[in-house]
Structure 1
């Protein structure tokens, strides 16, 4: 029997968090080896295990996978969270790319200069409520099903819930104009594997704070 996937990243959310989410939703236990210093990262690089000298890196099925999108696609396909055919996969990809764009804006907010944070936060809320969330609200309304694609849990649903919770950390009532997304959030949050991941003590990471920003800057020399 193959061992548990091993995740190599810093002790925070970043680009690894969506990978943690997807593995957890699939009910897959995983181990983490944290990069806590610049030396830890340099050792991975010098050992030749990072294809492009970058993390995230996930050891899974005898591979050392890098590139977030490639890792997520592999996990989604392996655990039947990637639709039943090419058309469903295309819709999942489109929905995931949208939530990736929104989460990227939120992810980089703590790393931006203090004098621009208020402006950037306002832009995040504006984009969430006028560009991204209306798409998912309309999708749920148009097909009247519980999930975004194929009336079955997929990577798109897991990613959207992660994006919703991140946006709510920025503005707690961000879903006030989206009743179907509010109901979606409740449904997906109560799927047993996801509910477990949302409990205290899970491998889900907390929001990025100034202390963690300082650690990341030191590790990656930014």
Structure 2
């Protein structure tokens, strides 16, 4: 039996959370080796595990994979979540890049100062509702299918749901003007593997709090 993927990252969301989501949606069990202090990070840097000295790092299929996008692409392709041809893969890539941009803005919110946090939150809400969510709303309205690409669950759907839930943590009714996305959220949340990941006790990580941010600053020196 092949070894479970092993994820190396602090015990929080960050760039690893989308990897957790994708593995969970694919029904793949995984182990986690948490980086809890600066010395844990230095150890895997010094033993040559990190190609570019950065995490996330995932041990899978005999590889020590780094770079979030490379890891996600590999998992999506391995578990048939990356479309049936190059054209579908291109659409999945475009949709994923959009949600990645939005999620990056949301992930940086806890790092804002007291002076900039409200302005940054307002920018997230503005971008989500005028730049990103309208694209996905239009896609579903145009093709009338349950999934973004090829009428089949893909990486794009999984990451869109993750982005929606993150955006709702910023503004609970952020989907109020997007009925197609509301319906999409309900459908994808009930995919059995995803529904399981959304239950308490799963390996999904909570919204970062001040304690977690302080721990990250110590580990990564920022």
Q: CA deviation at 1:112?
A: 1.3
Asked if 1:29 is matched to 2:32, the reply is no
User: What is the alpha-carbon distance in structure 1 between the residues aligned to residue 28 and residue 193 of structure 2?
Assistant: 9
Classify the secondary structure of the residue corresponding to 1:65. Answer: strand
Question: C-alpha distance in 2, partners of 1:112/1:40?
Answer: 26
Per-residue CA shift, 1:141-167, capped at 9, x if unaligned?
000000000000000000000000000
> 1:113 Cα deviation (Å)?
1.1
* CA–CA distance in structure 2, aligned partners of residues 221 and 21 of structure 1: 27
Alpha-carbon distance between aligned partners in 2 of 1:43 and 1:114, rounded to the nearest angstrom = 34
Q: How does 1:55-204 map to 2 (within 5 A)?
A: 55-204=55-204
Q: Deviations over 1:157-195 (max 9, x none)?
A: 000000000000000000000000000000000000000
Gaps of 5+ in 2: none
1:205 aligns with 2:205: yes
Deviations 1:107-134 (A, max 9, x none): 0110111110000000000000000000
SS for the counterpart of 1:4 is coil
CA distance in structure 2 between the aligned counterparts of 1:76 and 1:212, rounded to whole angstroms: 29
Q: Give CA deviations for 1:29-74 in whole Å, capped at 9, x if unaligned.
A: 0000000000000000011100000000000000000000000000
Give the TM-score normalised by the residue count of structure 2: 1.00
Q: Quote the residue 2:10 is aligned against.
A: 10
Measured on the aligned residues, the alpha-carbon RMSD in Å equals 0.3
Partner SS, residue 115 of structure 2 = helix
1:185-216: CA deviation from partner (whole Å, max 9, x where unpaired)? 00000000000000000000000110000000
Shift of 1:82: 0.1
In structure 2, distance between residues paired with 1:34 and 1:107: 19
State the alpha-carbon separation in 2 of the partners of residues 54 and 168 from structure 1.
29
Runs in 1 of length 4+ with deviation above 2 angstroms? none
User: How many residues end up aligned between the 2 structures?
Assistant: 222
**CA distance in structure 1 between the partners assigned to 2:23 and 2:103 by the alignment:** 18
